[in-house]
Amino acid sequence: MAAEYDNLRYIKLQDAEITELIADEEKRQRESIRLIASENYVSKAVMDATGSVLTNKYSEGYAGKRYYLGQRNVDAIETIAIERAKQLFGAEHVNVQPYSGSPANLEVYYALANPGDTIMGMSLPHGGHLTHGWKVSFSANYYNAVQYPVCEKTHLIDFDKVVELAREYKPKLIWCGASAYPREIDFSRFAEIANEVGAKLVADIAHIAGLVAAGVHKSPFPFSDAVTTTTHKSLRGPRGAMIMCKEEVAKKIDKAVFPALQGGPHNHTTAAMAVAFKEALTPDFKEYGKRVVENAKVLAEELLAKGFGLVTGGTDNHLILIDMTSKNTSGKIMATAMETAGIVCNANSVPFDKRKPFDPSGIRIGTCATTTRGLGVNDMKKLAGWIDKISESIDDENVLKSIRKEVLEMCAANPIPDSFVNHGE
């Protein structure tokens, strides 16, 4: 099996164990439907940059101001990545060095708040991220974290409560953006509240960055003082992150990333980001963004028609949160059965969940990866049918196996693409 993978040729010569595992992971990804809302498939061009000689280079500092010599290529690559990100998002300043999403958020805290300051973010079980002030994260241990909820009835962000909490606690930072929220984020509404109480507004657009870049979700600019994002979700780049911000906080942000919280940037990742941003600047990527949302809407409608309870009753973006109590089961049981059938997602808390975070009521699904794979609205209808059948036959190995067979056929008919640009071949 491994002989097919040229990219493993040197690993094969010296490490059979890791070769086998990578080859099997490639097979797993090829032969399953990826509905994890935060995952995607990168192009081979992005993969090439990630596996390049840039991994051998140290580059503490910023272009033109490095501590080590030998930076002519790294400086150029980092500058190109920054310029492309500015073009994609209309940002005044960009730092592409954060190692991933949580470090990027930590860096924003370091730059714009002091330990002990009050900060406000969306509660994790209501859709926010750990780093937005949830109790087990540094963000609640080092800061006085206030958490805002969604409405119990609609599951939409409870702006009355956001205003009330902001007025009462006068936070230094307000975080908006989410990890499990299927509706558009109203950045301008958050900015009004932040302005009223003198807070800085930080938008974490990790999930929706690709949709923002494609113009199918509102932009966090000019409303936000800082914007963080990972680059590997809807944006379809390598695992990494960046911080975009207004010029007035740029120096603080750069100093927080280096030297305060990080050492050498991961130059191979920076190059891969630059390649991914070039892909995201194409008209094809705009089309991709549109199809991601279109697929999610169709999938949501089909699931609703089959009696699934959807948090907020649908979706505006790539993500759907299903409350599996509507089918008398739990998120974990459902996600496990789906994996047996070859459809991979994650169990997820739903707002006001009565179950525990490791055994929650919901599953979270998303259409970024399936859309990259070329699946369209008819495939979404098929997927909804399989998800329904799985929920009705959770313990029936035969049903799960027969769906697995159909999933394999769908995967074979829709291979993971090598490239998203026309090479004129």
Determine contact, residues 95/253, Cβ cutoff 8 Å: yes
Least spacing, CB of residue 421 vs ligand DSN, in Å = 27
- Residue 335: count of CB within 10 angstroms of its CB: 23
Least spacing, CB of residue 4 vs ligand DSN, in Å = 30
Least spacing, CB of residue 101 vs ligand DSN, in Å = 5
| Catalytic one of 26, 39, 48, 60 | 60
For the CA atoms of 264, 44, 87, 242, the dihedral, rounded to the nearest 10 degrees, stands at: -30
Active site residue 60: yes
Determine contact, residues 37/368, Cβ cutoff 8 Å: yes
Site string for ligand DSN, 90-109 (x = CB under 6 A): -----------x--------
| Catalytic one of 50, 118, 230, 372 | 230
Judged by CB, which is closer to ligand DSN: 101, or 362?
101
Gap between the Cα atoms of 162 and 191, Å rounded: 12
Judged by CB, which is closer to ligand DSN: 74, or 124?
124
> With binding defined as CB under 6 A, does residue 38 bind ligand DSN?
yes
Judged by CB, which is closer to ligand DSN: 23, or 350?
350
Active site residue 58: yes
| Catalytic one of 66, 200, 233, 291 | 233
Per CB under 6 A, contacts with ligand DSN among 288-347 are none
Active site residue 239: yes
Least spacing, CB of residue 401 vs ligand DSN, in Å = 28
Beta-carbon contacts of 252 under 8 Å, excluding residues fewer than 6 positions away, are 111, 112
Give the length of the chain: 425
> With binding defined as CB under 6 A, does residue 234 bind ligand DSN?
no
Determine contact, residues 171/197, Cβ cutoff 8 Å: yes
Judged by CB, which is closer to ligand DSN: 61, or 331?
331
Q: What are phi and psi of 137, to 5 degrees?
A: -100, 160
| Catalytic one of 204, 279, 323, 379 | 204
| Catalytic one of 58, 62, 142, 169 | 58
Least spacing, CB of residue 129 vs ligand DSN, in Å = 6
| Catalytic one of 161, 170, 239, 389 | 239
Gap between the Cα atoms of 51 and 211, Å rounded: 27
Least spacing, CB of residue 261 vs ligand DSN, in Å = 18
Question: Which amino acid is residue 226, in one-letter code?
Answer: A
Judged by CB, which is closer to ligand DSN: 229, or 371?
229
Judged by CB, which is closer to ligand DSN: 101, or 265?
101
Active site residue 24: no
Determine contact, residues 233/39, Cβ cutoff 8 Å: yes
DSSP-H helix ranges across 93-183: 101-112, 138-141, 159-169
Angle at 419 between CA 238 and CA 345, to 5 degrees: 55
DSSP conformational letter for 352 = T
For the chain, the distance separating the N- and C-terminal CA atoms, rounded to the nearest angstrom, is 27
Judged by CB, which is closer to ligand DSN: 44, or 135?
135
Tell the residue number behind the tokens 């074979």, with chain if given.
412
> What sign does the dihedral 250-42-38-359 (CA atoms) show?
negative
Least spacing, CB of residue 38 vs ligand DSN, in Å = 3
Judged by CB, which is closer to ligand DSN: 368, or 375?
368
Tell me, by CB under 6 A, how many residues bind ligand DSN: 4
Structural tokens at position 408: 């394999």
Site string for ligand DSN, 172-191 (x = CB under 6 A): -------x------------
For the CA atoms of 334, 340, 341, 347, the dihedral, rounded to the nearest 10 degrees, stands at: 30
DSSP conformational letter for 157 = B
DSSP conformational letter for 150 = B
Structural tokens at position 300: 């949501």
Site string for ligand DSN, 124-153 (x = CB under 6 A): -----x------------------------
Per CB under 6 A, contacts with ligand DSN among 259-278 are none
Closest residue to ligand DSN using C-beta atoms: 38
Q: Catalytic positions, please? A: 58, 60, 204, 230, 233, 239
Write out the residues near ligand DSN by the rule CB under 6 A: 38, 101, 129, 179
